[in-house]
Amino acid sequence: MAVQTHEKPAGDTVSLGPASALSCRECGERFPLGPIFACEACFGPLEIAYDLPTGDPEGLRRRIEAGPNSIWRYAPLLPVPADVVDRPATSTNPGFTKLVEARNLARELGVTGSLHIKDDSGNPTHSFKDRVVAIAVEAARAFGFTTLSCSSTGNLAGAVGAAAARAGFRSCVFIPHDLEQGKVVMAAVYGGELVGIEGNYDDVNRFCSELIGDPLGEGWGFVNVNLRPYYGEGSKTLAYEICEQLGWRLPDQLVVPIASGSQLTKIDKGLKELIALGLVEDRPYRIFGAQAEGCSPVSRAFKDGHDVVRPVRPDTIAKSLAIGNPADGPYVLDIARRTGGAVEDVDDGRIVDAIKLLARTEGIFAETAGGVTVGVTKKLLEDGVLDPSLTTVVLNTGDGLKTLDAVAPTTGPTATIRPSLEAFRAAGLA
C-alpha cells in the first residue's frame, strides 16, 4: 500500500471546520479537539460541539445543493476541514444514497401517506459504515495518525480497509479468527493488515483497548474508539440527506436500527441541527428504534419503562446489530420517549420475511439489519403505533449480498425442468 505522510499540524490546535470542541454528554465539560473519547471528569462519552453557520439558511441551502453527490455537500455541518470537498482523494466519498419512494411496499402495508426507504446499500462498500469511517479518516489525518484500525466482524472492516486504501493510510483490522471465509475476504481484499485473534469478538475488543493504551498503538486511530466522537457524527448525514431528499422537509416518522444506538442518537442530532439552522420547518417528528428479538435489550427496557438497559447475550441472524450491551441505549430510550416514538423488535423469521417483502415489492435486497427495520415497521403498523397516513422513512443500512446465508435456506428456484416447451407448460408458469 502506498502510505502517504500525514503531517500533524504545528501547535495543539486542529482545524476541523465548524467543530469547536469536545463536550461531555453527561456533565457538559469541554475539551479541545483531540483523539479522546471519555470525559476526564466523569468518564461520560464525548461528542462534538460546533459553531454552525447560522443566520443565512438560504445561502447555506444553496451551498449544500451546489456541492458534490456525497456527504461532503454537508461539510459546513461536519467535523472536517473546509477544503475536504476540493481534495481529490479523501476516502471513498460515500453518501447521498437513494431515498426510494416505496409505493409498492406502502400499498402492501396499508400505508396511505408516503413510505420511503433510505437505501445505504448504495454506499461504496455497501453499508452506512462508509459514512462514519469517512469522518474518522479526516480526524485521523488532522491528528497525524498513520494507521487506521478497528475491531470488526463485518461491515466496518471493509469500510475501514477501503477508506484507508484510498486515503493513503496503513490499516490494521482485528477480527475473530473463526469468521466465515466470505467476510474474511471482504475485509482482506483492500490489502491492509488483517489480524485474526484467537478468541471471540469480546476478546478482540479487549485486545484493542489494551493496544490503545500501549506504546505499540502509538499513531493508531481506532475509528470507533479513540476517534469515536468524530466517527459517530457521520451518521448525522443520514438525517441531512433524508430531509434534503424530501424537499427540505422533516419526515413525520423514522424507523432506525439499533446496534450501539449511536446512529439513532446522531440522526436525532442532525434533525435538530437542521431545525436550528432554519433549513427545515420546526415541527414534531417521531423516531422509532428497531432491534432483533434475539438482541433486544433497548426494546425490552422501553417496554418495561426502564431508563437503564440490561445487557443480553445476542442470538440473532442480524449480526450487524448484535451488540448485547449498547453504549447509547439510555440515550435511545430518551429520544424515543421524547419524540413520541417507540422501540420494537422482531424475531428472525420476521426478519427474513421482511427482507423478502422489500425485495419483491421494491427490488431492494437488504442486509438482515434492513429486514429488522422493515419488519419492525410492519409490526408497528399492525399494532397501530405507526401512523399510516404520515410520511415515514425506514433505513436500510446494508446490503443483502453480505448476509446471503439469512435467506438462502428459503430462497430458490420456483421449478426445475428439462429444456422443452412441454416441460415448461407442465410446470404451469406460462
Query: Does 32 sit near a copy of itself (CB under 8 A)?
Result: no
Which residues, 6+ apart, have CB-to-CB distance to 30 below 8 Å? 21, 22, 23, 24, 49
Cα(195)–Cα(197) distance, rounded to whole angstroms?
6
C-beta of 137: minimal distance to a copy of itself in Å? Answer: 11
Segment contacting a copy of itself (CB under 8 A): 100-108, 253-261, 290-298, 340-348?
Answer: 100-108
Query: Does 206 sit near a copy of itself (CB under 8 A)?
Result: yes
* Angstrom distances, CA of residue 224 to CA of 78, 140, 156, 270, 388: 17, 12, 9, 19, 36
On whether the CB atoms of residues 24 and 2 are closer than 8 A, the answer is no
| Shorter beta-carbon distance to a copy of itself: residue 172 or 346 | 172
Query: Does 210 sit near a copy of itself (CB under 8 A)?
Result: yes
| Shorter beta-carbon distance to a copy of itself: residue 5 or 181 | 181
Q: Which residue from 113, 144, 199, 324 is in contact with a copy of itself, where contact means CB under 8 A?
A: 199
| Shorter beta-carbon distance to a copy of itself: residue 45 or 251 | 251
- SS3 call for 4: coil
Q: In sequence order, what are the beta bridge partners of 254?
A: 287, 393
Binding to a copy of itself (CB under 8 A) within 269-328 occurs at: none
- Considering CB under 8 A, how many residues would be counted as binding a copy of itself? 88
User: Which residue do the cell numbers 500525514 mark?
Assistant: 6
Binding to a copy of itself (CB under 8 A) within 151-190 occurs at: 158, 161-166, 168, 172, 175, 177, 181-182, 184-186, 188-190
* Angstrom distances, CA of residue 352 to CA of 69, 117, 289: 32, 17, 18
Lay out the site mask for a copy of itself across 104-133 (x = CB under 8 A, - = otherwise): x--xx-------------x-xxx-------
For residue 27 the three cell numbers come to: 456533565
Query: Does 387 sit near a copy of itself (CB under 8 A)?
Result: no
Binding to a copy of itself (CB under 8 A) within 55-84 occurs at: 69
DSSP secondary structure string, 55-96? S-HHHHHHHHHTS-SSGGGGGGGSSS-GGGGT-S-SS-----
Q: Which residue from 98, 272, 300, 337 is in contact with a copy of itself, where contact means CB under 8 A?
A: 98
